[in-house]
Amino acid sequence: MKRLAIAVCAAALLAGCGPQTPTASTQTEQTPATPERPAANPLKNAYFGDLHLHTRNSFDAYIFNVRASPEEAYAYAKGGTIKHAAGFDMKLNSGPLDFLAVTDHSEYLGVLPAINTPGDPYASVPYAKDLFSTDPKQVNAAFRKFGDALRTGARMPEFADLRTVKSAWHDTIDAAKRNYEPGKFTTLVGYEFTSAPDGRNLHRNVIFSGDTAPELPFTALESQNPEDLWKWMDQQRANGFEALSISHNGNGSDGTMYERTMWNGKPVDRQWAELRARNEPLTEITQVKGTSETHPLLSPNDEFAGFEIMEWYIGSTTPITKFDGGYVRKAMKDGLEIEAKVGVNPYKYGLIGSSDTHNAAGSYEEDNYHSKVGISDATPERRGSAPPEGKTWANYKPADNTARFATWGASGLTGVWAPENTREEIYAALKRKETYATTGPRMKVRFFAGYGIGPQQLTSDEGVKNAYAKGVSMGGDLIGKADGKPDFLVVAMRDARSAPLQRVQIIKGWLDKNGKAQEKIFDVACSDGGKVNTKTNRCPDNGATVDVKTCAYSQDKGDAEISASWSDPEFDPKLNAFYYARVLENPTCRWSTWDAIRLGIEPNPDLQKTIQERAYTSPIWLIPTKG
């Protein structure tokens, strides 16, 4: 009898030890049983999502004590509550996102969880114990070990066996498959290519069009040279795996992200420009680690350029010394110059925003901010919005990392215009660059250019239909005509949960008669009935204020919706040019001010107390007709 019982138990044991089916977090918001898929809208809807997010499968996130899985990242994006590495709950105040890509670092993907799994062969690396600490100092030391290894691009020999990476990659793909709800929530398969030669950031996110992907990602351990990544993407495309790459944090590249030379140091040639443009249609202009639009030194006439500027190498306190080559607006100008020389523009970028959170949960809201590197910046003290316990701001001298974290921002999101929320349509919108970036709020922005499409408004279906029929939307090419000027139509609507809008600007870049790229900013619509000064091209101040004691802002200033029909007063049909729209909110409290208010202390005097949230559309390029 006893023998029988043992046999039964053994049989059951085998079943119990089989592969465990992953179960969704119990805190996941439940999917309605009968989701009714809304009809596609040919005039397109705005969808908001994040294309840059890390989970415990990223080596650094795991070191930061993050244990949330891709499954939990999706749960959070769908409006659920998940735990921060420091133990508190995280939930989006503004409701679920429409799409998400989990983009863990492909280098050492899933390796850290393996090191921390008893019995796993990786658990025996000699420094295993040092890696998993709750002391931020030790965490930083451990992080440096991997960070330094990535700077060299050589694979750490103890992790040469790629079985772990393969299995974590399959988990990433499976999580995307499981969480896709066509019509309601789109998941995208992706990863981050983490190349940083000598610490200069050349990171890219690679996003696949489908729910299948190559057996292994192409990582910076195969090659730090992004040209090799794009060649691999070409090959994969031939094998049926369509993907695009998105460069990010040019601001941390020390001038190397958007260079005028190739990897071998020679000037960009046509083949290189085509390779890059074919594979990298998008660039990330805003995220937690600052803005990559432009730097005040590159755009001295842009009084809104000093927004969430980050001047450090990524993951280090080495200061950036070269801004040229690290910012998107300058790259788009350089792209025009390169095109004039080699015939192809390598920097014809659509714009997106994302978080780059390493908490598996984006922190897009200033008043709901948990930054992005797990326990390292989990408290106001560690991210520089509160002085150390028992101290005041007098003689405040932040630890190195805290000084870095203090300059980060609660950003960003990608807006796409697509007929419906499916993987096919979201991916297609990314590919055709019908995208815009926001620094967190979910403003809706439409932007069109075309001959004879104005002054119709974009607030009616007929207006939008007309604009699509006769013009091009953000991300498109407008073929110039010898006579006449194109109209630019733009409309922006505030996020109901954020502040009213202050102004809409159109930023123009063009190649002047001497072949030199120039830029100019035109305010095209002002709030509160203001009129643009035709000499300065600026709106009058609308007088909106913020009470930094409470973060209350003017309720009677700014507009809920703002629109313009504009034509370029300096238009020259013979010159190559690009135009993109920038929408500015009224000022609101920065996250660091919210932190201080919650603690009942003065905000850090070295930090800006308020910011102006914004949206950036992909440009429209004017292609002059020859002759």
Partner 1 sequence: MASGVMGFLRRAVREPLVHFLAIGGALFVINSLIHGPDQGPESTAIVISEGRVNQIAESFVLLSGRVPTKEELQVLVDDFVSEEVGYREAVAQGLDADDTIVRRRMRQKLEFLIEDSAANEEPMQAEMLAWLDGHSADYRLPERRALRQVLLSTDKRGASAANDALAALASLRAGADPAKQGDASMLPPALPLTTQEGVAGEFGVDFATAAFAHAGDDWFGPVASPFGQHLVSVVSVEPGRAVTLSEVVDRVRTDIIEERRNDARDAFHARMRKRYTIHIQWPDPWKGLPDTPDPNPKTKPIPEVGE
Interface residues toward partner 1, by CB under 8 A: 9, 12-13, 15-17, 23, 30, 32-34, 36, 38-39, 67, 79, 94-95, 112-120, 163, 442, 444, 446, 457-460, 491, 493-494, 496-497, 500, 527, 559-562
Q: Which of 104, 621, 132, 58 is nearest to 348 (CA)?
A: 621
CB of 16 to partner 1, least distance (A): 3
Q: How far apart are CA 23 and CA 569, in angstroms?
A: 60
Report helix, strand or coil for 228.
helix
Q: How far is the CB of 357 from partner 1 (least distance, A)?
A: 20
d(CA 609, CA 604): 8
Of 12 and 552, nearer to partner 1 (C-beta) is 12
CB of 573 to partner 1, least distance (A): 31
Q: State the DSSP H helix or E strand holding residue 286, giving kind and residue range, or none if neither.
A: strand 282-287
Total Cβ atoms within 10 A of residue 541? 11
- Residue 34 or 395: the one with the smaller Cβ distance to partner 1 is 34
Beta carbon nearer to partner 1, 119 or 126: 119
Q: What is the C-alpha separation between 534 and 108, in angstroms, rounded?
A: 55
What are the b/e assignments for 393-432, b being 16+ CB within 10 Å?
Answer: eeeeebbebbebbbbbbbbbbbbbbbbbbbbebbbebbbb
- Measured CA to CA in angstroms, residue 505 lies from 257, 512, 567, 626 at distances of 26, 21, 12, 29
Rounded to a whole number of angstroms, the minimum distance from the CB of residue 165 to partner 1 is: 15
**Residue 17 or 469 having the CB closest to partner 1:** 17
Name the token pair of 307: 């927004």
Specify the amino acid at residue 152.
T
Instruction: Let me know how long the chain is.
Output: 627
User: Which one, 8 or 297, has the nearer CB to partner 1?
Assistant: 8
Residue closer to partner 1, measured from CB, 153 or 530? 530
Distance CA 25, CA 80 (A): 9
- Complex with partner 1: residue 16 or 126, whichever CB lies closer: 16
Rounded to a whole number of angstroms, the minimum distance from the CB of residue 546 to partner 1 is 17
At its nearest, how many Å lie between partner 1 and the CB of residue 460? 5
Query: Interhelix angle for 270-279 vs 328-342, to 10°?
Result: 140
Looking at the Cβ atoms of 4 and 496, the one nearer to partner 1 is: 496
CA distance 393 to 604: 7
CB of 562 to partner 1, least distance (A): 8
Q: Could you tell me the smallest distance in angstroms from the CB atom of residue 351 to partner 1?
A: 20
